[in-house]
Amino acid sequence: MTLRIQVQQQDFSVASEYELLRQEARCGAVVTFSGLVRELTETQLLRMTLEHYPGMTEQALIQIATEAQQRWQLGTVTIIHRVGTLLPNEQIVFVGVASAHRAAGFAAAEFIMDYLKNRAPFWKKEHTSNGEYWVAAKVSDHVALQRWE
Amino acid sequence: MLKILFFAALRERLACANTSLDLQGQVLTARQVLDRLAGQSALWQQHLADAELLCAVNQQLVTLSHPVAAGDELAFFPPVTGG
């Protein structure tokens, strides 16, 4: 059971992360998720800035990954989240889960993203052609947690 | 001293990233600290009255009924939007 948690400004390579996740022979499945900066429909997104709470962020991600490892039989769990300035289509977040069989991997990756969206102290600000706006939290993200309770 | 941090939109609206409060040996709830801070000015009153605000004590998410004492790190911030 290995945890790989990183909060960083620099980009990450899904290929390199996947190679790290597929090293365990007892794991027959690797599930990965990447979240990207999406362009806006009504205005032009110039860039996004991601603020976080240094120290708490890392602890929150470790807690979420550890809880996933307690719920499902998992191998390595990787969570990488970028902070700072990001341009449209850049990578924001990576979640990778190695597991013996696919069901645990799919479930754990969704669980981690649902909790990350609600509990990890990150805040997005969109810089658009019409001005700067803090992204509002979505009710749907909050509702998504209920299925794990 | 109690260390108090603000993040994201709240930090911008208050124009303040951190402050501190001398609790004089008292143990207060996060809610009581919030009420004291809100009393500082009309601007703080307005922005700290937001019912959606989240709170962390020593870098753990807690409810506003959580106690805080000297040496603790208390943070207030808007709902998180990472991922």
Q: What is the pLDDT of residues A54-107, one digit of tens each?
A: 999 999 999 999 999 999 999 999 999 999 999 999 999 999 999 999 999 999
Q: Does A108 reach chain B within 8 Å, measured CB to CB?
A: no
Closest by CA position to B61, among listed A71, A148, A110, A53:
A53
Q: What is the pLDDT of residues A1-34, one digit of tens each?
A: 699 999 999 999 999 999 999 999 999 999 999 9
Domains of chain A: which residue ranges?
A: 3-148
DSSP state of A135: P
Choices 3.10.20.740, 3.90.650.10, 3.40.50.2000, 3.90.1170.40: CATH for A3-148 = 3.90.1170.40
Q: Is A64 exposed, middle or buried (0-12, 13-18, 19+ CB in 10 A)?
A: buried
Question: CB–CB of B82 and A116 under 8 A?
Answer: yes
**Residue B8 is nearest to which of A59, A120, A123, comparing CB atoms?**
A123
Contacts of B60 in chain A (CB under 8 A): 56, 59
Q: What CATH number should be reported for the domain whose range is B2-77?
A: 3.10.20.30
Q: What is the ipTM of this complex?
A: 0.95
Q: Does B44 reach chain A within 8 Å, measured CB to CB?
A: no
With beta carbons less than 8 A apart as the criterion, state whether A54 and A121 touch: no
Close Cβ partners of B74 (under 8 Å, ≥ 6 residues apart): B2, B3, B4, B5, B30, B33, B55, B56, B57, B68
- Per-residue pLDDT, B25: 94
Question: CB–CB of B5 and A121 under 8 A?
Answer: no
Residue type, A18: Y
- Per-residue pLDDT, A1: 67
Domains of chain B: which residue ranges?
A: 2-77
Query: Quick one: pLDDT band at residue A114, thresholds 50, 70, 90?
Result: very high
Joined tokens for residue B61: 């998410």
Beta strands in A21-141 (DSSP E): 29-36, 45-52, 74-82, 84-86, 91-99, 122-128, 131-134
Beta strands in chain B (DSSP E): 2-6, 18-21, 28-29, 54-57, 60-62, 67-68, 73-77
Contacts of A117 in chain B (CB under 8 A): 80-83
With beta carbons less than 8 A apart as the criterion, state whether A112 and A64 touch: yes
Using CA coordinates, name the residue in chain A closest to B59. Answer: A56
Query: Quick one: pLDDT band at residue A136, thresholds 50, 70, 90?
Result: very high
Q: Does A38 reach chain B within 8 Å, measured CB to CB?
A: no
Residues of chain B with pLDDT below 70 are none
Rounded to a whole number of angstroms, the distance from the CA of A138 to the nearest CA of chain B is 8
Contacts of A56 in chain B (CB under 8 A): 56, 59-60, 75
